[in-house]
Structures are given as C-alpha cells and as structure tokens.
C-alpha cells in the first residue's frame, strides 16, 4: 500500500465519520465540532512545532485575534462597535438573516486575514529567537496580547462582547458550526499535506534539522519560517472566528486567549499523536478529545491534575508519540526506506 493511497483512505474514513457521526447521534454534534477544532489546532501547531522545529506556546494568539476581528466586523456592519461595547451588552441589535450571513462570512474571512497579517508582522522578530527563547517569547506574546485586548475599551475590554445570535430554529446553529469546523479542519489538513510535498516542506524540514546549514545552503530561512507560521495563523484565525460565533459570547482571557487550556492542549495533542508526522496530530487530537469528553466530568476537579500528569508522562517517557513510535517500529509502513548498513554506521557515529 503506497503512502498516497493510505492517505486517501484515511481522508475517506474521516469524512465518513464526520458525516455519519452527527447523523447517528445528533446530541453530540457540538462535542464533535470541538473535536474538529482540536484536530485543526494540533495540525497547525505541528506545522511549525513538528515539521520546522519551532515550538510555539503562543499560537493561541491567532485564535483570539481571529475571534475579535470577526466580532468587530460582524457587529460593525450593522451597528457602531464603540456604542455597542460601551453598553455592556445592554443594547440588543437585531440582525436580519441576510445581514447575519454576510457578517458571518466576512467575519470569518477577516479573522483569517487579521491573524495572517499579525503573523507576517511579528513573525520576522519572533522567529529570530531560537529554541526555548522562541517558546518563552511566544508564550509572552500570547499573554501580552490577551492583557492588552482586555484593557482595550473599543472591543469591550474585560467585559467582552456578545456575538450576534444565530437566526433560525433551535439546534440548527450547532449543525452549521459543526459543518464549518469539519470542512475547515479537513481542508486545512489537505492544504498542509500538499504544502509538505513541495520544496517548501523540504525547506522547513531542513530548518528543523539544522537551521545554520540550511541557511548556508542558500535557503531564505526567515522567509520560510514566517510563511509557515502565517499559514498556521490563517487557519487558526478562521477557527477562532467560528468558535466565537459558536460560543455566542467573547471574553478575552478565557474564551479568546485560553493560553493554559487550548493553548497547551494543541501542543499536548500533537506530541501524543507524534509530532512531525502527517497523521500524528490528527490521531492525537481525536484520542485526546474523546478521552477528555468521556472521563472529564467524572473526575471532579482531578481532570486538570491528570492533564498535567499526562503532559509530563508524555514528554518524559513517550516523547515520540504514538505514530512516531509506530514509525520507528515499522518504518516500511510509512514509506520510509531504511538502509540497514547506513543506519548502523549512523548509530555508531551517534555513539561517538
């Protein structure tokens, strides 16, 4: 079985699950919507974290910026944003159905665009940082942006913004947002898979393996790094815009910039599934989400302690992740050809 046909089969399987799941069990639609969001987050994180070796702890910034951009666009189309936020939700704006849908589409587009522009602007600076400094810097960036937005009165500051209410029957809203997340996650994975197969993919892998050598070979490392981060940002921004509409109420520190939950989940999921592999983040995200949904409420507070423990165990004892482990075990299955002799000399060298 070639890698290509395997990929196609996995896509077919995921799409089937995505369509049949909510049809069979309609009550889990919103849980499944969040699952696709998790997949998207893990896959976009892995693009810089796994494939390029730049471990960001602040990708959640793009999510929050996208969410706020869409809120401003959607409300601004119909009403004065300043007046709306100054009233702390006391003003109820009635959107007509067509206003709602134009707003939603434009808002999601604006979410992606603003996040991308932000990545392009700060990217050259942040991506100049290496190793742990990049991780700490991005974490700092996420916290700083969240704090600044919660002090910015135009977007409601700490009291947040209420989003336009979904028009139409009870329950249809969750289906619409489900479809959006589902399509976005699958498209995102396809785009990123296509990107990996080009020269671009090779370049970012080269940066991961040895950035200085890559630069010496004439690869414009900064340009590639910023582009990769911007692609992640584009999808994260759109996902943020959809999530904001799904939640109905945006608030800076817990809904838009949840650094300690979603921000860390995406890293944990990519690591669990196997970072730097095509399907690892997807597998990790789905497993993580299912386990979380099934066990979470039963643990009564211990779930967060368990999360910390899982991250530690994962990092300390099982760093290559599920697919990484499988790839080491059965390399042929992943289209990796191992020259026994070469790898033995390689090991000998490493032992030196």
Options 3, 217, 305, 333; binder of another protein; rule CB under 8 A: 305
CA 273 to chain centre: 14
Rounded alpha-carbon distances, angstroms, from residue 171 to 108, 175, 177, 308: 21, 7, 11, 35
**Which residues inside 142-171 make contact with another protein, applying CB under 8 A?**
143-144, 147-148, 150-151, 157-160, 162, 165, 170-171
Member of 3, 128, 291, 343 binding another protein (CB under 8 A): 128
Binding of another protein by 352 (CB under 8 A): no
Q: Look at residues 160, 165, 143, 151 and name the one whose alpha carbon lies nearest to residue 251.
A: 160
> Does residue 120 touch another protein according to CB under 8 A?
no
CA distances (Å), origin 311, targets 97, 307, 314, 318: 44, 6, 5, 10
The site string for another protein over 172-211 (x = CB under 8 A, - otherwise) reads ----------------------------------------
Residue of the chain from 194, 304, 333, 347 that contacts another protein (CB under 8 A)? 304
**In the range 257-296, which residues lie near another protein by CB under 8 A?**
260, 264, 267, 271, 296
Q: Determine the length of the chain.
A: 352
Closest CB to another protein among 193 and 208? 208
Helices (H) then strands (E): counts for the chain: 15, 2
**Least distance between another protein and beta carbon 341 (Å):** 28
Give the range of 1-9, 61-69, 130-138, 344-352 binding another protein by CB under 8 A. 130-138
Residue with tokens 């602007």: 121
Nearer to another protein, 26 or 331 (CB): 26
The answer to whether 311 contacts another protein (rule: CB under 8 A) is: yes
Q: What is the nearest approach in angstroms of another protein to the Cβ of residue 113?
A: 23
Name the nearest CA neighbour of 195 among 186, 207, 208, 204.
204
Q: Which of 50, 137, 237, 321 binds another protein (CB under 8 A)?
A: 137
- Three-state secondary structure readout of 194-225: HHHCCHHHHHHHHHHHCHHHHHHCCCCHHHHH
Count the neighbouring beta carbons within 10 Å of the beta carbon of residue 172.
Answer: 11
| 309 is a site residue for another protein (CB under 8 A) | yes
In the bound state with another protein, the residue whose beta carbon lies nearer, of 186 and 255, is 255
CB atoms within 10 A of CB 315: 12
Could you say whether residue 89 binds another protein (CB under 8 A)?
A: yes
Burial of 103 (0-12, 13-18, 19+ CB in 10 A): buried
Q: Please, which residues bridge with residue 162 across strands?
A: 249
Contact range with another protein by CB under 8 A, out of 102-110, 202-210, 316-324, 337-345 = 316-324
351 binds another protein, rule: CB under 8 A? no
Of positions 15, 96, 131, 345, contacts another protein by CB under 8 A: 131
Helices (H), 262-339: 262-273, 280-295, 302-317, 321-329
Give the position of tokens 């067509």: 98
Q: Please, what is the minimum distance in Å from the beta carbon of residue 45 to another protein?
A: 12
- For residues 233 and 117, the answer to whether their CB atoms sit within 8 Å is no
- Contact with another protein (CB under 8 A) among 251, 318, 320, 325: 251
Which stretches of the chain bind another protein, using CB under 8 A? Answer: 24-28, 30-31, 55, 57, 88-92, 125, 128-129, 131-133, 135-137, 139-141, 143-144, 147-148, 150-151, 157-160, 162, 165, 170-171, 247-249, 251, 253-255, 260, 264, 267, 271, 296-297, 300-302, 304-305, 307-312, 314-317, 319
């Amino acid at each position: 079985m070639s890698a290509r046909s395997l990929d196609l089969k996995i896509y077919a399987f995921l799409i089937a699950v995505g369509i049949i799941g909510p049809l069979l069990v309609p009550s889990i639609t919103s849980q499944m919507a969040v699952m696709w969001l998790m997949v998207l987050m893990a896959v976009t994180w892995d693009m810089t974290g796994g494939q390029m070796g730049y471990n960001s702890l602040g990708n959640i910034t793009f999510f929050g910026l996208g969410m706020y951009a869409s809120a401003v666009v959607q409300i601004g189309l119909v009403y004065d944003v300043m007046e709306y936020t100054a009233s702390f939700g006391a003003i109820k704006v009635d959107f007509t159905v067509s206003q709602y849908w134009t707003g939603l589409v434009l808002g999601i587009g604006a979410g992606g665009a603003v996040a991308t522009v932000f990545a392009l602007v700060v990217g050259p600076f942040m991506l100049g940082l290496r190793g742990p400094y990049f991780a700490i810097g991005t974490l700092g960036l996420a916290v700083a942006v969240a704090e600044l937005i919660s002090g910015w009165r135009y977007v409601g500051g700490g009291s947040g913004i209420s989003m336009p209410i979904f028009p139409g029957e009870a329950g249809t809203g969750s289906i619409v947002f489900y479809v959006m997340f589902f399509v976005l996650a699958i498209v995102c994975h396809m785009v990123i898979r296509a990107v990996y197969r080009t020269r671009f993919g090779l370049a970012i892998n080269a940066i991961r393996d040895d950035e200085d050598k890559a630069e010496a070979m004439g690869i414009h490392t900064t340009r590639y790094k910023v582009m990769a981060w911007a692609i992640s940002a584009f999808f994260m921004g759109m996902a943020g815009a959809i999530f904001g509409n799904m939640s109905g109420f945006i608030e800076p520190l817990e809904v838009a910039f949840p650094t300690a939950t979603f921000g860390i989940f995406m890293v944990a999921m990519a690591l669990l599934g196997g970072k730097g592999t095509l399907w690892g983040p997807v597998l990790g995200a789905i497993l993580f989400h299912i386990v979380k949904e099934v066990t979470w409420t039963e643990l009564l507070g211990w779930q967060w302690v368990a999360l910390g423990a899982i991250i530690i165990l994962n990092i300390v004892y099982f760093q290559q992740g599920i697919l990484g482990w499988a790839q080491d075990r059965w390399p042929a299955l992943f289209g990796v050809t191992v020259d026994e002799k070469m790898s033995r000399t390689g090991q000998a060298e490493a032992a030196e």
